[in-house]
Amino acid sequence: MTKNTAHTSGPSANPTPAATLEFRHAQKVYPGSGEPAIQDLSLEISAGEICVLVGPSGCGKTTAMRMVNRMIDLSDGDILLDGGSVRERSPAELRREIGYAIQQIGLFPHQTIAENITTVPKLLGWSKDRQRARVTELLNLIGLDADMAARYPTQLSGGQRQRVGVARALAADPPLMLMDEPFGAVDPIARARLQNEFLRLQAQLRKTIVFVTHDIDEAIKMGDKIAVLKQGGVLAQYATPADLLMYPADKFVEDFVGADRALKRLALQRVRDIDLWKAALVRPGEPVAQARAKLADADLPIAMLVDDENRPQGWLSERAFAGERVTSDLRSPAEPVADLDDVLRDALSDLLSSQTRYGAVLDARGAMAGVLSLEVIQQFLHAPPTEARSGAELVPE
């Protein structure tokens, strides 16, 4: 079923191909406890994807993660790493093959940063030269100065320690990484920065990652796929972030995702992703008849005055159409304007805060690319994000 289909889409910096991971009816029952901690969990994670396990506390997300490297042993079912059962592997050997980063980081205080980072390479018997080279490479990758190598963990800030924790997990270039709230121990601003850095890293490295968090916003931001677990380790839904927000499988997921999930969806999209309105673009001195024809063809009742390069000058008032030729009588300035690459949520926020119904959207050269309106956004929210489904009436008015 699961073959060795690990792909190597990453650059040459990633010699180890990412692994596939499959939970197959995985189950965990702790002795003396009637209720299973994980009940029949099945899901497949493609090579090179971040799969976020998310859910309220006690949902078994950490247990599920720890079963992968046998920190917790399965009671029943199986977990397949690149098609091979983890049950048949020696735990220590298996763990050296899987990157491991936890919220409390767990750096060794008696070892330097370099020694901490080379924990697994040392276990694997790498030469000293290779270890040293790897430390330099990783410090560079996580944006720490090379002279940090000789420091001790107590000499680093919280954010730096979290980065070192990630570097240590990456040290032996593992095909799979397990990350349990790896950015949980820092303040929200530092966390956002670490998340962005990590996503940038992941774009290069293309590791397969199991990422545990209790924070749905972090899940939406980090995940290629999100597995929402509920009490007893039951898989409530396994979907892409957009699908999860658009089509929560049940009341539990809907509540967990939150009432603001429509806004969260907007955060996932860019202005270019939606069907913008077409505006009438009118140049000064243009015959009024021609301008009126353009207006009739447009999606909105007012026209935009543009220059020769189609750059917006402002919205035209009725008075501009009074004579033979269009004058430069404006009703309002062209602002707010949005770029095609802006995040939809930010563009909407600009629109609302400037109390206008329409926002000009510009392409990379600054020319009009279309118009964003509240109606356009509403239509977008009602439309299915990836595939048409019936009976989904999920977007609040």
Using the rule CB under 8 A, is 21 a contact of another protein?
Answer: no
CB nearer to another protein: pick between 122 and 272? 122
Judge whether 65 and 37 are in contact, CB under 8 Å.
no
Which residue type sits at 26? Answer: A
Using the rule CB under 8 A, is 211 a contact of another protein?
Answer: no
Given 120, 176, 194, 351, the residue binding another protein (CB under 8 A): 120
Using the rule CB under 8 A, is 158 a contact of another protein?
Answer: no
User: For another protein, which stretch binds (CB under 8 A), given 2-10, 41-49, 95-103, 372-380?
Assistant: 95-103
Burial (0-12, 13-18, 19+ Cβ within 10 Å), 217 = middle
Contacts of the segment 272-276: beta carbons below 8 A, 24+ positions apart:
272/340, 272/341, 273/344, 274/344, 274/372, 274/376, 274/377, 274/380, 275/376, 275/379, 275/380, 276/361, 276/369, 276/370, 276/371, 276/372, 276/376
Give DSSP secondary structure letters for 225-277: EEEEEETTTEEEEEE-HHHHHH--SSHHHHHHH-TTHHHHHHHH-BGGGS-PB
Using the rule CB under 8 A, is 128 a contact of another protein?
Answer: no
Which residue type sits at 139? Answer: L
Using the rule CB under 8 A, is 73 a contact of another protein?
Answer: no
Given 126, 152, 252, 277, the residue binding another protein (CB under 8 A): 152
Cis peptide before 121 (omega within 30 of 0): no
Using the rule CB under 8 A, is 126 a contact of another protein?
Answer: no
User: For another protein, which stretch binds (CB under 8 A), given 109-117, 186-194, 239-247, 301-309?
Assistant: 109-117
Which residue type sits at 327? Answer: T
CB nearer to another protein: pick between 150 and 293? 150
CB nearer to another protein: pick between 72 and 295? 72
Q: How far apart are CA 119 and CA 101, in angstroms?
A: 13
CB nearer to another protein: pick between 107 and 257? 107
Using the rule CB under 8 A, is 178 a contact of another protein?
Answer: yes
Paired sense of beta strands 225-230 and 50-54, if any: parallel
Using the rule CB under 8 A, is 3 a contact of another protein?
Answer: no
Using the rule CB under 8 A, is 94 a contact of another protein?
Answer: yes
Given 11, 32, 109, 396, the residue binding another protein (CB under 8 A): 109
Q: Smallest distance from the beta carbon of 177 to another protein, in angstroms?
A: 11
Name the residues that contact another protein, by CB under 8 A: 69, 71, 91-97, 100, 102, 104-112, 119-120, 123, 151-152, 154-157, 168, 178
